[in-house]
């Protein structure tokens, strides 16, 4: 079963993705970019790094226009 985990760049979502992968699920991560601020860019990079370390595909959903 494939599961898409919404990754915020924080510990909770990263651990959720890790546990699911360890249980044998096909996990992919996604970050929804709503703002174009330094904090948002940093969170996105944290999520991307976590996904890379877990060797799972990672997607960025550009939702900035929808949240304006």
DSSP letters of 39-65?
HHHHHHHHHHHHHHHHT--EEEEE-TT
Q: Give this prediction's pTM.
A: 0.90
The CA R_g of the chain, rounded to the nearest whole Å, is 12
User: pLDDT truncated to tens, each residue of the chain (68 aa)?
Assistant: 999 999 999 999 999 999 999 999 999 999 999 999 999 999 999 999 999 999 999 999 999 999 88
Q: How many CB atoms lie within 10 A of CB 49?
A: 13
């Amino acid at each position: 079963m494939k599961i898409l985990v919404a990754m915020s760049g924080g510990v909770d979502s990263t651990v959720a993705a890790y546990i699911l992968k360890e249980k044998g699920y096909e996990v992919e991560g996604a970050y929804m970019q709503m703002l174009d601020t330094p904090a948002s860019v940093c969170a996105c990079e944290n999520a991307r790094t976590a996904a890379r370390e877990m060797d799972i595909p990672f997607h960025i959903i550009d939702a900035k226009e929808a949240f304006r």
